[in-house]
Chains A and B, each alone.
Chain A
Amino acid sequence: MSKLVRLEIDGKPVEVPAGTLVINAAKTVGIEIPAFCYYDGLTLQGACRMCLVEVEKSPKLVTACTLAAAEGMVVRTQTPQVVQARKAMLEFLLTNHPLDCPVCDKGGECELQDLTFRYGLGESRFLETKVHVPEKQWSAVVYYDAPRCILCYRCVRICKEGMGVSALAVVSRAVDSEIAPNMGDHLYCDECGMCIDICPVGALTSQDYRYQTRPWEMKHVGTICTHCADGCTTTLGVYNNRVIRGNNHDRTGLNGEFLCVKGRYAHDFIAHSERLKCPLMRVDGKLVEVSWSQALAEVAARFGGIRSRGGKFGVIGSTRTTNEENWYLQKFAREGLGTGNIDHHRSGDVISLLSALKGRADALAATSDLYERKAALVIGSDLAQQHPLVAFQLRANWRHHESHIYTVTRGPVREDAYSRLRVRAEAGRELAAAKSLRQALQAEPELLILFGDCVRGAAVHELVEFGDSLGIPVRYICLVDYVNSRGAMDMGLTPGLLPGYQPAAAPGLDLAGMLAAADLDALWVVGANPLKNAALAAERAFVVVQDLFLTETAARADIVLPAACAYEKTGTVTNVCGEVQRLSRAVTTMGAKPDLEIFRSLAARMGLDLGEPETDRVYAEMRRQLPVPAAGEAARGVVASAGDTLFTSGTLGRYCGVLRNVREAPGGLYQ
């Protein structure tokens, strides 16, 4: 904790740590100092001059965004001189501003509008003709309107500093200055839209949202992004039961202002024309539309029949469904169908990690550690591609706290640019390569270890032993990939472990085992696509699939039940660091039902009493005492990363127009 200094702002005493900027010190006592170019966490610019204040003993007005609070300082933010200066800056900004607010996407949530309303002059004295420059499209996502740009350089900084991409720069000079994309006339970047979101005015707009609606006409629903395990909050703008945009402008959630291209734009799959809206049943070898009651009755009857003759079930759960759904599904399988054959696509070996840690809860990292810990070792992951938020937080930590980053990867990754040491390791050699960093790591005061799917089974135990041997506090993150990968394991969607990693009395078949079992009578697949690259051995098995789209697996089904997506339901999901977050329903798709509702209807029709999901209790227990999973469980399951990049999202990515339209940004960009 740095030492405190006392100063006075508008007569109010203020006490803040030395080094605090006056603009932030003022906030602590409820005084707003208007600003455009200042943005928390980005480098200082002093460019817009909106934050000029009077400081005793200083002959000129001073920018509060660059001035560090000092002992005894006397600041005034409301004097006639300050008020007049703000008016002047706004008048300057509006000289060539088109003032096309009525048709500007930003209208209603524009910082220039807001500050002009609060601090501006009533009228403009600028009589010269305004210079018009046509708008430019820079990519499938980004548009730039130069006359609207107030040159606050937020976009340039968020792209360079926040994203590590540096795709935007200022070109020309004087009044001709403008922002330009890295490829001259187009952008080659992550397409994250951070620049658009951070733009205080409507100079940067997105293909997605342009001219769609007015911000005040939308309902804003904060929920959790469904595309990866990092757990970003995305605020969906909904108009007429349609998601118009995603952003996180209010900086809530674990991600602050961050969202990657997926969290921000990949919501168009919801309203995709191929979305399933009616149950399908195989009749004469073809899938035909049937009513919900017909489909459910058929499933209940067939499941009931197979159960009563002691047939063999296989249940494959989802990494995208909620904890409540996962809990209910495993209970359905184990108690309702009487089978232990339950699994899901595992993308990281959390189970071995928990087992190796033997209940040391404090050795599991939280998302906040990414920004706070003094050193981090990344093993076998292209973070910027696979875990955009994790990468963003590590980068912010390096920028703000000069944390030390170490990378062990197969090829070049964006983290190379700021890692202290980097080691290239072929597949399978990652752990050994990580160990070669021992000396440097030992000298760190603390360490965070992030590892991908290449470290699994015994290697995880070996990694934890290595971590323990460093003699410093070490925390771990097992990089699982899907939005609720972690929750699927926590809730017992594994053959050997019950919810909370309690050992199952009689472990069943794992995913590969089910697909290979020629005598399987029924396969129930919920929100997964196991038949994408694999075959089902039991040719005559009765297959039920719950999904959004007619995937390869659904195409093989006997009954297909249209499911609601994460943006259409409530419940909780658990992110890569084990943080449980709540989903909110933004829209509904007529005809599709949340998986939990499907489970319940089926249970009712089968006469099963499975009660309410008890996820809260499971969490409470897990939190009280970190479970130690039965050894050997992990070795039996297949662990493989989703292999997603910034522009893919498992099967879902195929139905996201934006992801398909952006140019692929190959790794070469990040060298």
Chain B
Amino acid sequence: MPYNEPSPLEVKVLTRRFGLADSASLDTYLATGGYEALKKALGMTPGEIIEEVKLSNLRGRGGAGFPAGTKWGFVPRDSARPKYVVANGDEGEPGTCKDRLLMEYDPHQLIEGMAIAGLAVGAHAGYIYVRGEFRYIIRILERAVEEARGRGYLGGNILGSGFGFEVYVQSGAGSYECGEESALLESLEGRRGVPRIRPPFPAVSGAFQSPTVLNNIETYSAVPAIIREGGAAFAALGTPRNGGTRLFCLSGHLNKPGVYELPMGFNLLRMIHEVGGGIPGGKRLKAVIPGGSSCPVLKAEECDIAMDFDSLAKAKSMLGSGGVVVMDEDTCMVQAARRIMEFYAHESCGWCVPCREGTNWLRRLLRRFHAGEGSRSDIDLIGDVARNILGRTFCPLGDAAAMPTIAFVEKFRDEFEAHLEGRPCPFEGRRREVPAP
């Protein structure tokens, strides 16, 4: 593993080739069971493939956790229009850095997963939409596609089966909102990353006004294992309704931050201490953002929790995209709230009123507040403005901005109060030590 050492607690299904020599090459892939699933799938009916994926309890790894098999089932079988498979490699949610690894170290696993999805819904072309900053990843993917096509794993007649599937790689150019599925499709079609009115959903009218399955990179990357080993085996790795493993991106105040593949439902405290090596300098845990910056923060005492979609929903947070951001006792929660709002205000596409105006308002309010120029009524105002955004925007970005803000104010009101009356940030001076490389 070039970026971080693996953990002995990992259950390596999607990442099992990470660390192998030349893991991105087709030879390595084939030598380790690659494209076996596609061969198997070519002998199955579309209905059987979808059933298997449903059985696996694979839920979307992009954030919302929608069951993948169910989504595939929405694609109308009888539509006369061509159908498409789109992989979301925008990886923009702060705290998340796992799709990058899956594309970098095992591109064929993704391609195979997409081809199987194509088989399941009757699509013959797929697009991998990759954020513009990941230029080197695009090169890796393009090479993998060439290789696969060269040896008949992609192309007009895959392995002589008569089934054809092509994969294209498309670059973004700097926009978090382009990770939102309909904005992604707009960007893919050469326009501003402004989301679309839904319905119709992509499954009915997506890319090029045609039925489209759109999933996260990790979601597709799980498919070969599901088909190869069976949906039930994958499901058994996780908790009920939360099948398999997922890649958790541990970041923030940890001794061993890194991306680790762990079973769904893995305990968060164990993740922090046993996988992530605990908090540097023996500091105490203050809070964790469990699934990327749009997920409501958990206080330390809420962290004894199983990391799966349902448990986190019960705790009024979300599993999101698997970005686990750990914050120690020296962290200023007002500063964290401000930083997160800077992000959403910058990345709002600007289309709808509450998100465009609300995130900007909150950004300015939080800047002023953190600078010590806030008043007591501002504390409620921050929460109020966020609640006025919540649930009323055109796409979920507004919610993504509002939910964490509301949680910061509700759970750390004392820290907001500590910033009042011109007081300097109480955490100022406790600056971060940068971990040694």
Contact = CB atoms under 8 A, between A and B. Distances in A.
Contacts of A151: 350-351, 353, 356
Interface stretch (B135-143, B262-270, B341-349): B341-349
B368 A128 contact: yes
A93 B360 CA distance: 12
Nearest to B365: A128
Contact of B192 (A91, A93, A173): A173
A95 interface: yes
A174 B356 contact: yes
Contacts of B388: 85, 88, 91-92
A96 interface: yes
A22 to B, nearest CB: 14
B336 to A, nearest CB: 21
A65 to B, nearest CB: 10
Contacts of A127: 365
Contacts of A88: 354, 388, 392
B134 interface: no
A231 to B, nearest CB: 36
Contact of A49 (B192, B197, B353, B361): B353
Interface stretch (A40-48, A238-246, A341-349): A40-48
B348 A46 contact: no
A174 B350 contact: yes
Interface string B137-167: 0000000000000000000000000000000
A199 B356 CA distance: 19
A47 B352 CA distance: 4
Contacts of A60: 391-392
B359 interface: yes
Nearest to A68: B199
Nearest to A36: B353
Interface string A57-81: 0001100001000000000000000
Contacts of A172: 350
Residue of A89, A92, A125 with most partner-chain B CB within 10 A: A92
A153 to B, nearest CB: 9
B27 interface: no
A150 interface: yes
A207 interface: no
A126 B349 contact: no
Contacts of A128: 361, 364-365, 368
Contacts of B193: 173
B422 to A, nearest CB: 16
Contact of B357 (A50, A92, A173, A176): A92
Secondary structure type dominating chain A contacts: loop
B357 A61 contact: no
A93 B393 CA distance: 14
A252 interface: no
Interface string A468-495: 0000000000000000000000000000
Contacts of A61: 391-392
Given A61-B392, A88-B388, A126 B361 contact: yes
Contacts of B350: 151, 170, 172-177
Contacts of B364: 128
Given A44-B197, A128-B368, A170-B192, A175 B349 contact: no
Contacts of B348: 173-175
B403 to A, nearest CB: 13
Interface residues of A, number: 32
A52 interface: yes
B394 interface: yes
B353 A177 contact: no
Among A44, A66, A95, A150: residue with most chain B CB under 10 A: A95
Interface in B382-437: 384, 388, 391-394
A185 B365 CA distance: 33
A45 B347 CA distance: 19
Nearest to B345: A174
Given A125-B381, A175-B348, A92 B197 contact: no
A49 B393 contact: yes
Contact of B353 (A44, A48, A66): A48
Contacts of A91: 388
B352 to A, nearest CB: 5
Given A61-B392, A173-B192, A47 B361 contact: no
A128 B368 CA distance: 9
A92 B358 contact: yes
Contacts of B349: 173-174
Nearest to A128: B364
A174 to B, nearest CB: 4
B359 A49 contact: no
Interface in A311-337: none
A47 B351 contact: yes
A128 B364 CA distance: 7
A150 B356 contact: no
Given A46-B394, A91-B388, A174 B353 contact: no
B200 to A, nearest CB: 12
A175 B357 contact: yes
A96 B358 CA distance: 11
A545 B155 CA distance: 80
A49 B392 contact: yes
A125 B192 CA distance: 32
Interface string B171-194: 000010000000000000000110
Contacts of B347: 174
A47 B349 CA distance: 11
Interface string A123-155: 001111000000000000000000000110000
Interface string A148-186: 001100000000000000000010111111000000000
A44 B361 CA distance: 26
Contacts of A173: 175, 192-193, 348-350
Contact of A89 (B175, B354, B381): B354
B353 A150 contact: yes
A44, A93, A128, A173 interface centre (most CB from chain B within 10 Å): A173
Contacts of A85: 388, 392
Contact of A47 (B353, B381, B391): B353
A95 B391 contact: no
Contacts of B360: 95-96, 174-175
A175 B348 CA distance: 8
Interface in B280-328: none
A175 B356 CA distance: 5
B72 to A, nearest CB: 25
A49 B394 contact: yes
Nearest to B398: A49
B346 A174 contact: yes
A85 B390 CA distance: 10
Contacts of A48: 352-353
Interface string A492-515: 000000000000000000000000
Contacts of B393: 49
Given A96-B357, A151-B356, A170-B192, A47 B365 contact: no
A432 B140 CA distance: 60
A172 B192 CA distance: 9
Interface in A20-60: 44-50, 52, 60
B52 to A, nearest CB: 31
Contacts of A125: 381, 384
Contacts of B381: 125
A88 B354 CA distance: 8
Contact of A46 (B175, B346, B352): B352
Interface of A: 44-50, 52, 60-61, 66, 85, 88-89, 91-93, 95-96, 125-128, 150-151, 170, 172-177
13 contacts: A47-B394, A49-B352, A49-B353, A50-B353, A88-B354, A95-B361, A96-B360, A125-B381, A128-B361, A128-B368, A173-B193, A173-B348, A175-B356
3 tightest A-B CB contacts, nearest first: A177-B350, A88-B388, A92-B357
Given A66-B197, A92-B361, A174-B346, 9 more contacts: A46-B197, A47-B352, A49-B352, A61-B392, A88-B388, A89-B392, A151-B356, A173-B349, A175-B360
